[in-house]
């Protein structure tokens, strides 16, 4: 961080501390909501989502060769293969907009092209199978189908647009890294590395397995009931792998890489959660911007209603699956079908905390362009869907 940036940050904090009217009940409630949201995030997401994601990102940085990343996700990789894999990754991961950040950072810093990397960044939280099924069940099959089709298409379109806009940056990154050879002194086979990575991904999946809706049974509920046992078994399996397949030096390098991602992402992410909580509060709790103002602005299917829904969704933080009951309440209060889809497409994939953190990973300009692409696509798709269903 440059010195003038540090100085500006210090000045901004001082001005906020000096002039914020904390004796005003709304400001005081907003401050409480900021820390309540931070506590909720720490309790529900850090241990079960973020920590496994950080270790996966560290493993990608240390054990996945740069040549392999460039082969499958680099700027010169086969477009059909790279975008196909990236666009459906959310069906496996089922993570939120913040949990996907360490994984995105891992493949992007390892040499993945900006296109496939951002396709993965969008699809991770957006293409959640249970969330799409729950959307269809609670909000109607039309909205569920539109969300599924829109999310897959968005991840590919957003990735292709980012790849086109920053094609020169991708070319320079690839040119500087393409000649790095694979390491020949690895002590493990390909299947061992694959099984090791798969085990960590399954730990993330089962540890973060969401609670089913009330009255809903079936396989999802059964897995949720057994998630602790499944996660414990996978942790034991991982421990055996680490003790038998890896050297001490490799494990130290893995922990160092994981710690590097945590130092980079955690502070920005927590700051973003505090800001989002102060402005918007938790679902069902008032903060600086009351929920009734948002509801009043997203009725009908106008350009403004869809744009406002997209921007609001992009700024709000949605934990996995929480967007569905929130949308149910908003639609019941008069929200239009088009703005509802716009919020569903922009909301799970973006949030104010994730934007702040992304800026530290790939820069402010690229983050801004990515956010604009998602908001514009969500707005246009919402208007089109609203026009069709109306």
Listing DSSP states for 203-223 in one string gives HHHHHTPPPPPTT--HHHHHH
Instruction: Give CA–CA dist 275/255, Å, rounded.
Output: 30
Mean pLDDT confidence for 29-44: 84
Instruction: Give CA–CA dist 60/108, Å, rounded.
Output: 10
Q: Return the C-alpha torsion angle 211, 89, 231, 258, nearest 10.
A: -120
Return the pLDDT at 72.
67
> Which pLDDT tens digit goes with each residue over 151-202?
888 888 988 999 889 888 776 665 544 444 444 455 678 788 889 888 988 8
Mean pLDDT confidence for 53-77: 71
Tokens 């099959």 label which residue?
141
Instruction: Give CA–CA dist 353/315, Å, rounded.
Output: 8
Return the pLDDT at 70.
61
| Predicted model pTM | 0.64
Higher pLDDT, 36 or 218: 36
Q: Minimal CA–CA distance to 177: which of 65, 102, 258, 257?
A: 65
**Mean pLDDT for the chain?**
79
């Amino acid at each position: 961080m440059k010195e003038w940036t540090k100085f500006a940050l210090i000045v901004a904090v001082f001005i906020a501390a000096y002039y914020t009217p904390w004796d005003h009940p709304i400001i005081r409630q907003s401050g409480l909501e900021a820390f309540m949201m931070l506590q909720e995030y720490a309790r529900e997401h850090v241990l079960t989502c973020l920590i496994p994601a950080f270790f996966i990102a560290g493993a990608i940085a240390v054990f996945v060769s740069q040549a392999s990343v460039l082969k499958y996700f680099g700027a010169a990789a086969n477009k059909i293969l790279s975008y196909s894999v990236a666009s459906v990754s959310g069906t496996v991961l089922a993570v939120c907009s913040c949990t996907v950040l360490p994984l995105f950072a891992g493949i992007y810093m390892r040499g993945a092209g900006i296109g496939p990397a951002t396709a993965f960044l969008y699809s991770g939280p957006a293409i959640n199978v249970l969330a799409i099924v729950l959307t269809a069940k609670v909000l109607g099959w039309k909205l569920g189908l539109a969300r599924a089709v829109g999310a897959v298409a968005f991840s590919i379109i957003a990735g292709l647009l980012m790849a086109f806009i920053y094609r020169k940056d991708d070319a320079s990154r690839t040119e500087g890294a393409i000649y790095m050879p694979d390491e020949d002194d690895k002590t493990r086979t390909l299947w061992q590395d694959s099984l090791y990575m798969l085990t960590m991904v399954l730990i993330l999946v089962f540890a973060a397995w969401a609670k089913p809706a009330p009255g809903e049974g079936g396989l999802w509920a059964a897995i949720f009931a057994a998630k602790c046992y499944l996660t414990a078994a996978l942790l034991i399996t991982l421990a055996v792998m680490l003790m038998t397949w890896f050297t001490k030096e490799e494990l130290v390098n893995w922990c160092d890489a994981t710690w590097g991602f945590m130092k980079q992402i955690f502070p920005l992410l927590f700051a973003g959660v505090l800001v989002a909580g102060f402005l918007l509060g938790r679902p069902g709790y008032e903060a600086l911007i009351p929920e009734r103002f948002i509801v009043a602005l997203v009725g009908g299917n106008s350009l403004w209603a869809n744009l406002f829904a997209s921007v609001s969704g992009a700024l709000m933080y949605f934990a996995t699956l929480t967007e569905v009951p929130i949308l149910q309440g908003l639609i019941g209060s008069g929200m239009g079908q088009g703005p509802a889809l716009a919020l569903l497409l922009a909301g799970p994939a973006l949030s104010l905390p994730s934007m702040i953190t992304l800026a530290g990973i790939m820069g402010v300009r690229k983050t801004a362009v990515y956010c604009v692409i998602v908001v514009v696509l969500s707005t246009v798709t919402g208007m089109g869907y609203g026009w069709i269903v109306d």
